[in-house]
Amino acid sequence: MLNKFLLTKEQNIFLAKKVLVSNIYNSAKLEGINTTYPDTKTILDGINVPTLKLDEINCILNLRDAWNYVLSSIDSDINLEFICKVNSYVSRNESLEWGVLRTGKVGINGVDYIPDVPIKEKVVDEINSILREECETKRAINLMLYLMRSQVFWDGNKRTSMIVANKIMIENGCGIITIKEEFINEFNNLLTKYYNTGNMTEIEYFIYNKCIYGLEI
């Protein structure tokens, strides 16, 4: 796998800020929130949208805060502490605990696979192993998929994983990963297959080919 885009960090930060509303909208749709792009922008502008529930509005605002944290910490090292911090924004007031590894069992709707209760040392070792991947785009995708399947947090795993992956993409000038609305169904089907089999080849290929965007310089 090769990086699809070769931007400067500054160019990629510009891109991330330019498409921030779209990224948050796409993430909200991936979570099943029945928002529109104009409604999402209205919420991010600080105006209430009466057609959305309070927890749906909170999800969108949490995504904004998580993205703001990452963009303000773009030069920070990626480690478990950083990932937990992102989750503390993403899942704030949404789960049993946020910003810490889950301590009990969870299931995933629609799949037979049941993720193990995360053990900190094993999670750290796996993260460090993935971060040694030479290709930054592959590193970002693999970390995202590992965190999604492992379900290391009580809630917000997909959202946290994608934002953390984009931190890798942005700091290395590789573009932005986002699942556009037109690809959500295909992504979810491939994600279910990956959860059940543990084989990420097919969904990795899908993300690389359909879900990475950049600037044409």
Reported as a single tens digit per residue, the pLDDT across 167-177 is: 999 999 999 99
pLDDT band at 216; cut points 50, 70, 90: confident
Return the structure tokens found at 132.
């040694």
> In the CATH scheme, what architecture does the domain 9-213 have?
Orthogonal Bundle (1.10)
pTM to 2 decimals? Answer: 0.97
Residue closest to 31 by CA, chosen among 161, 178, 159, 165: 159
Distance of alpha carbon 27 from alpha carbon 21, whole angstroms: 10
Mean pLDDT, residues 124-143 taken together:
98
Q: Is the dihedral of CA 115, 67, 180, 11 positive or negative?
A: negative
Split at pLDDT 50, 70, 90, the class of 102 is: very high
> In the chain, what are the domain boundaries?
9-213
pLDDT at 94 over 90: no
As a whole number, mean pLDDT of residues 111-118 equals 96
Q: What is the mean pLDDT of residues 60-72?
A: 98
- 176-177 vs 212-213, strand pairing mode: antiparallel
Per-residue pLDDT tens over the stretch 8-46: 999 999 999 999 999 999 999 999 999 999 999 999 999
Residue 85's H or E segment, with its range, is: helix 80-90
The two structure tokens encoding residue 196? 């059940």
